[in-house]
Amino acid sequence: MARARAAGPSTARSTIMPFAQIYMIEGRTEEQKRAVIEKVTAALVEAVGAPKENVRVWVHDVPKENWGIAGVSAKSLGR
């Protein structure tokens, strides 16, 4: 007799493939970005049980003139 399978996404460890997008104002060093990627990866491995090899992290460098804070660009604010 076949068993019914629960609806919803698979939670098998090998199928978990988290993709994190990090937006930061430009100006971080390559070393700082590397640290962000490593720590976000480790957090996702711990939090959702994804294999490290399945985790993807995309760091977006946003130009200061394209980042608004309280109606003013970060560049205008001297950030």
- 22 touches 36 (CB < 8 A): yes
- Quote the distance between the C-alpha of residue 2 and its chain's center: 39
Catalytic site includes residue 18? yes
From the candidates 9, 18, 51, 63, which is the catalytic residue? 18
Q: Which of 21, 19, 23 shows the shortest CA–CA distance to 66?
A: 23
Which residues are known to be catalytic?
Answer: 18
